[in-house]
Amino acid sequence: MTESTNENQHKLKLLHRVISKWHELKKIIIPEYEKAKSDFFKAHKEMWNTNGRFKR
């Protein structure tokens, strides 16, 4: 009984560690992703002229 309880507690600790690392990473990744997305759409908009035709 205690063996499986200890094992579960260990798994929970690992899970919490993974989740906290994920939150740290998200703080870095998401702003980078948002910036890249807005840069992409800006560039994409500039490639097309107002009547929807591709600029040559």
Q: Which H/E stretch holds residue 15?
A: helix 2-47
Distance CA 31, CA 55 (A): 30
Task: Answer yes or no: are the C-beta atoms of 20 and 26 closer than 8 Å.
Answer: no
pLDDT score recorded for residue 5: 92
What was the pLDDT predicted at 22? 92
Tokens of 9: 């507690």
Q: Which amino acid is at 47?
A: M
Domain ranges of the chain: 25-49
Contact predicate 55/47, CB 8 Å: yes
31-45: average pLDDT: 91
Q: If you ran DSSP here, which 8-state letter would residue 51 be given?
A: T
Q: Report, as an integer, the average pLDDT of 5-28.
A: 94
Task: Find the mean pLDDT for residues 23-45.
Answer: 91
